[in-house]
Amino acid sequence: MKKTPFYEKHIALGAKMAPFGGYEMPIQYKGIIAEHNATRESATLFDTCHMGEFSFRGPGVVESLERIVSCPVETMTMGQCRYGFICNEAGGVIDDQILYRIGIDEFFMVVNAATEPTDYDWILDHLDDDTEAENLSEQTAKIDLQGPDSPEICRKLLDESIRELKYYRFIHNRYRGEQLLMSRTGYTGEVGFEFYGSHDLIKQLWDDCMNCGAQPAGLGARDTLRLEMGYPLYGHELDTEMNAGWSGFVRALGDKPFIGSDAVFSENGRSRRLCAISLEGRRTAHPGNPVTDAAGTVIGRLTSASFSPSLGRAIALGYIDSDRAETGSVVAISTERGTLDGNVATMPLYTGATGRAPLETFLKN
């Protein structure tokens, strides 16, 4: 298993470590619920150095990426981020990614750890000859500072103002005299930032954030936080066998073809829908559990499930037949320990997140 630059810090902090995406990663420190609540109420730090980062540039870069990713590329402005899928010809999801427009002919892409090598090979095979690519994953460190206290922490530590940084935008800022890239795309739902830079610089930033009151959080809390928001996780809601159209995260633009788009926008691509399910009580289901309607007919399967610390009850995500996925529909989840009752709910399940709020809301001066 690989180790991130923060491995020794995690061990010193008493983290429970486990394999994830080919890396030894922290699952929890003080506990998942405590770290989850700290993200919603104050500020936490996540080690996300395991993620992959690519750079693309050249006169053909827009045309190449337009073909490779599901999100529109040409209409992106400088400093904007967009979420989208890399699909195969059958409409299955090779990976989900976030694309950053650095310049007219330059982009930065963030992908998942487990799929980073295959993503890069796939993209290289589908780039135009006049587009240059570089895999920056080994040399790039990344941490996420999340929670309502994070803007004030940034104000204290960064050299330049963050007041104008909007949701799904990024800027280059300076910290301790060096440049870093910071974005605001937030996988937890809360206001927060992602920082990219050299290993030494980002390790120092981690320490300074901790000294300003941020708490470390592991992948356990990251999972419950994203589940409350209805955000997909690769390997659960997304994989090469799942049609990207089922997820609801692909915008059906008639003038935006991409690899796999015919399958994504086909009848099969509309046959299922990713749904949130609110369960009665605290007992959780498990990924793979069948979802049935009131008559006992199987209408789908769960992809993720957990107890929701913010809501105080069990929740889940799953793919359900589109004609049975109406909000409020009564469903049951079949588990080894019996049947759990619930209903199809709107996303996000947790509606109190601060992720899109103006930064002025959180800054003291």
Model pLDDT, residue 290:
98
Q: Cα separation of 153 and 212, whole Å? A: 6
- In the sheet that holds 2-3, the strands lie side by side as 2-3, 23-28, 16-20
Tokens of 189: 């739902």
Return contacts of 281-286, CB within 8 angstroms, 24+ apart: 281/313, 281/314, 281/340, 282/307, 282/312, 282/313, 282/314, 283/314, 283/337, 283/340, 284/314, 284/316, 285/314, 285/316, 285/333, 285/335, 285/340, 286/335
Secondary structure element (H or E) that encloses residue 135, with its range: strand 132-135
Question: Taking a C-beta distance cutoff of 8 angstroms, is the pair 55, 47 a contact?
Answer: no
Model pLDDT, residue 254:
52
Strands 215-216 and 192-197: unpaired
Q: Is 27 helix (H, G, I), strand (E, B) or coil?
A: strand
Q: Distances from the Cα of 296 to the Cαs of 125, 288, 331, 332, 334, in angstroms?
A: 46, 17, 9, 8, 10
Q: Distances from the Cα of 140 to the Cαs of 36, 42, 53, in angstroms?
A: 26, 27, 7
Q: Cα separation of 74 and 56, whole Å? A: 14
Q: Positive or negative CA dihedral for 117, 118, 119, 125?
A: positive
Question: Taking a C-beta distance cutoff of 8 angstroms, is the pair 201, 109 a contact?
Answer: no
Phi, psi dihedral angles at 133 (to 5 degrees)? -130, 150
Residue 134 identity: E
Residue 311 identity: L
Q: What is the pLDDT along the chain (365 residues), one digit of tens a residue?
A: 999 999 999 999 999 999 999 999 999 999 999 999 999 999 999 999 999 999 999 999 999 999 999 999 999 999 999 999 999 999 999 999 999 999 999 999 999 999 999 999 999 999 999 999 999 999 999 999 999 999 999 999 999 999 999 999 999 999 999 999 999 999 999 999 999 999 999 999 999 999 999 999 999 999 999 999 999 999 999 999 999 999 999 975 556 899 999 999 999 999 999 999 999 999 999 999 999 998 999 999 999 999 999 999 999 999 999 999 999 999 999 999 899 999 999 999 999 999 999 999 999 87
Question: Taking a C-beta distance cutoff of 8 angstroms, is the pair 126, 115 a contact?
Answer: no
Question: Taking a C-beta distance cutoff of 8 angstroms, is the pair 162, 145 a contact?
Answer: no
Model pLDDT, residue 94:
98
Model pLDDT, residue 55:
98
| Burial of residue 291, with CB atoms counted within 10 A of its CB: 0-12 exposed, 13-18 middle, 19 or more buried | buried
Model pLDDT, residue 104:
97
Distance, C-alpha 227 to centroid of its chain: 10
Q: Cα separation of 294 and 123, whole Å? A: 45
Counting Cα atoms < 13 Å in the Cβ hemisphere of 48 gives 23
Q: Work out the number of other CB atoms within 10 angstroms of the CB of residue 261.
A: 21
Length of the chain, please?
365
Domains of the chain plus CATH, in order, are: 2-49+140-227 (3.30.1360.120), 50-136+240-270 (3.30.70.1400), 272-357 (2.40.30.110)
Model pLDDT, residue 252:
54
Q: Cα separation of 261 and 255, whole Å? A: 11
Secondary structure element (H or E) that encloses residue 156, with its range: helix 150-157
Q: Cα separation of 281 and 316, whole Å? A: 12
Model pLDDT, residue 364:
85
